[in-house]
Chains A and B, each alone.
Chain A
Amino acid sequence: SQKIEQNSEALNIQEGKTATLTCNYTNYSPAYLQWYRQDPGRGPVFLLLIRENEKEKRKERLKVTFDTTLKQSLFHITASQPADSATYLCALGQGGYNKLIFGAGTRLAVHP
């Protein structure tokens, strides 16, 4: 069955360092991959979308890579700040379908 795996353990890093979060998937051929940020008790906020034919996408301090051979996406936050502390969700969608399927998310904690 289709599976999306994000590290369930929280990622703790020091302010100023680069945070790298991983999203792996199996039994799936997504045409699009999206990353969202979610704060406790709030709705997810869209951050970035990357297509299957794109290797990398950047937006300010954020960078996403998409490797369809490894079936993996990496999400990087450079020069991380305590305000970046949140849960980050990856979501996959197949072309022609209207379902965006979410991973369980990884909690990031940036310490001063």
Chain B
Amino acid sequence: DSGVTQTPKHLITATGQRVTLRCSPRSGDLSVYWYQQSLDQGLQFLIQYYNGEERAKGNILERFSAQQFPDLHSELNLSSLELGDSALYFCASSEGTGVSYGYTFGSGTRLTVV
């Protein structure tokens, strides 16, 4: 157990639907990062929050949004889902902000859009 909790572990939904993925960071970590991993793309950075504030954005689609709450858990919202959104979604956390910290990853949410 890495200390980063992601729910749900698996999600199957239809095209056009909206889903919410949840992440609780490791105790004491203030940064949360979201990554998407598909077979042909590898790990793609989506977005980062530090202590409730957005700090960095990657190639996140406009249909996707995220937030970090006062208790530091984070949610990634995916809407108007398409078949191509099927992937593993990972949340990671770190003590500080920036790339000088190693990230602790959760076990991921496998999203299947049918």
Q: Which residues of A contact B (CB under 8 A)?
A: 30-32, 34, 36, 41-46, 49, 51, 89, 92-105
Contacts and interface: CB of A to CB of B under 8 A. Distances in A.
Interface string B86-109: 001010100001111111111110
Given A99-B56, A100-B33, A94 B42 contact: no
Contact of A102 (B42, B98, B100): B42
Given A89-B43, A100-B33, A102-B42, A46 B102 contact: yes
Contact of A97 (B4, B99, B101, B103): B99
Secondary structure of the B side of the interface? Answer: strand
A31 B43 contact: no
Contacts of A99: 45, 48, 56, 58, 99
B48 A102 contact: no
A32 B103 CA distance: 13
Nearest to A98: B56
16 contacts: A30-B99, A31-B100, A32-B99, A43-B2, A43-B105, A46-B102, A46-B105, A49-B100, A49-B102, A93-B98, A93-B100, A95-B98, A95-B100, A97-B56, A97-B98, A99-B48
